[in-house]
Amino acid sequence: MYGTKGRPNDSSGTVPRVIGCTEGDPGPTLLCLGSLHGNEPAGVTALRRVFAHLEAAGPPIKGEFVGIAGNLVALARSQRYVDHDLNRCWTSDRIEHLRNRNRLRAGSAVEDAEQLEILSEVDKAMARARGDIFFLDLHTTSGNSPSFGTIADTLRNRAFALQFPVPIILGLEEHLEGTFLEYVNNRGYVTMGFEGGRHDDPNSIDRVEQCVWLALAATRILFRHDGMPQIKHAHAGLSAAGKLFPRVLEVRYRHAVAGGDGFQMEPGFVSFQTVQAGQLLARDRTGSLTAFEDGRILMPLYQSQGEDGYFLMREFSTLWLKLSAFLRLLHFDSVFRLLPGVRRSPADPNTLIIRRRTARWFALQVAHLLGYRKRRMDGETLIVTRRPE
């Protein structure tokens, strides 16, 4: 059985919230979100292309593939957001507040209405789901960048992400509050964020499209032998760039930008470029901003809107990756929790409270190995949380 709802070939210029929805025999669900940032049209454009190809070719589909458009108002204005960043407002408190306010029909910011509509479509897709559920969030960057994936470090996310021949970055969510993927990841679904390249680079649309084709193959919604040549081409297209960089990297630092601090990135940086400790990266009112250690720069900010100046990351070795998977399968965290200075939060079994003076410097590194990420530092207390596996 095959069918497409939505209007992938709509030529009126208006973008529908649901770009497309294909239903087939019972199976997994893949939900792709495009253009959550309005100055990143590649996500929506790529999804429309994929749905148009599917509609024309009509291959057998297992499960359901849904494409949802993100910030429609900001997209029409070609700006990142109107009132606030639609990818920083997905905390459970805020969503509960929004849902309640919706019932009261109170006025709201542009992004509040957008978020409620997206939530409604996500809820409907989840209610229909009859198998594993995967989320893909499609973005582009303000500066030049190779394509890469970002995941919260669960074993299921790793297994999914490592099917894409691009560098995979761990630990970005440790530095960002309220992203859409954080919200769905905390509900136990498999997630990956994808950054296709620079916003206005036409190749970025191709790479985002390639990512969606590979996701359809990775989830087994489409099989390679179903005669969709796009899947083979997608692998070749993405792996060409992916070969140049480490397979897995870990974010080590985020430089936060606040309005009025005069942040100015030094010109010429591109994502994944290596930097040395002490190298000048940017300036603001406080003076020069330099790299605190050797590594690679990620997403240097070359646009006026946005709160992330740049990130620093370094390679996460495949040996370390295997060791951490092994330790998690052994449930080594139950041993870790016995160490002095480490205890489980009484409120949440996935959260650990670490007294840094007792547990020493390596506590955060071991926590990372076991899939925990830093939530906050409260003086001498470190709070780390992991996503449900």
Question: Contact positions toward Zn ion, by CB under 5 A?
Answer: 37, 40, 139
Closer CB to Zn ion, 305 or 350, in the complex: 305
Nearest of 39, 46, 66, 177 to residue 120 by alpha carbon: 66
| Rounded-to-integer distance, Cα 313 and Cα 247, Å | 13
Q: How far is the CB of 354 from Zn ion (least distance, A)?
A: 32
Q: How far is the CB of 139 from Zn ion (least distance, A)?
A: 3
The end-to-end CA distance of the chain, in Å, is 32
Closer CB to Zn ion, 37 or 373, in the complex: 37
Q: How far is the CB of 246 from Zn ion (least distance, A)?
A: 22
Q: How many other β-carbons are positioned within 10 Å of the β-carbon of residue 305?
A: 15
Closer CB to Zn ion, 48 or 198, in the complex: 198
Q: How far is the CB of 321 from Zn ion (least distance, A)?
A: 26
CB-facing half-sphere around the CA of 189: CA atoms within 13 A? 27
132: helix, coil or strand? coil
Q: How far is the CB of 40 from Zn ion (least distance, A)?
A: 5
Closer CB to Zn ion, 38 or 246, in the complex: 38
Q: How far is the CB of 41 from Zn ion (least distance, A)?
A: 11
Q: Which positions ≥6 away from 388 have C-beta within 8 Å?
A: 154, 186, 188, 350
Length of the chain (residues): 389
Q: How far is the CB of 112 from Zn ion (least distance, A)?
A: 19
CA distances from 326 to 25, 79, 307, 330 (A): 35, 44, 36, 6
Nearest of 237, 254, 229 to residue 169 by alpha carbon: 254
44-47 long-range Cβ contacts below 8 angstroms, 24+ apart: 44/15, 44/19, 44/69, 44/70, 44/75, 45/205, 45/208, 46/138, 46/196, 46/205, 46/206, 46/208, 46/209, 46/211, 46/212, 47/8, 47/19, 47/20, 47/138, 47/212
Closer CB to Zn ion, 48 or 199, in the complex: 199
| Rounded-to-integer distance, Cα 80 and Cα 325, Å | 37
Nearest of 127, 164, 124 to residue 148 by alpha carbon: 164
Closer CB to Zn ion, 48 or 80, in the complex: 80
- Cβ atoms of 139 and 37 within 8 Å: the answer is yes
Closer CB to Zn ion, 37 or 207, in the complex: 37
Q: How far is the CB of 199 from Zn ion (least distance, A)?
A: 9
Q: How far is the CB of 172 from Zn ion (least distance, A)?
A: 12
Closer CB to Zn ion, 91 or 303, in the complex: 303
- Cβ atoms of 45 and 140 within 8 Å: the answer is no
- Cβ atoms of 44 and 69 within 8 Å: the answer is yes
Q: How far is the CB of 143 from Zn ion (least distance, A)?
A: 12
Largest CA distance in the chain: 64
Closer CB to Zn ion, 37 or 88, in the complex: 37
Residue 172 phi/psi, 5-degree rounding, is: -65, -35
Closer CB to Zn ion, 135 or 372, in the complex: 135
Which amino acid belongs to residue 98? L
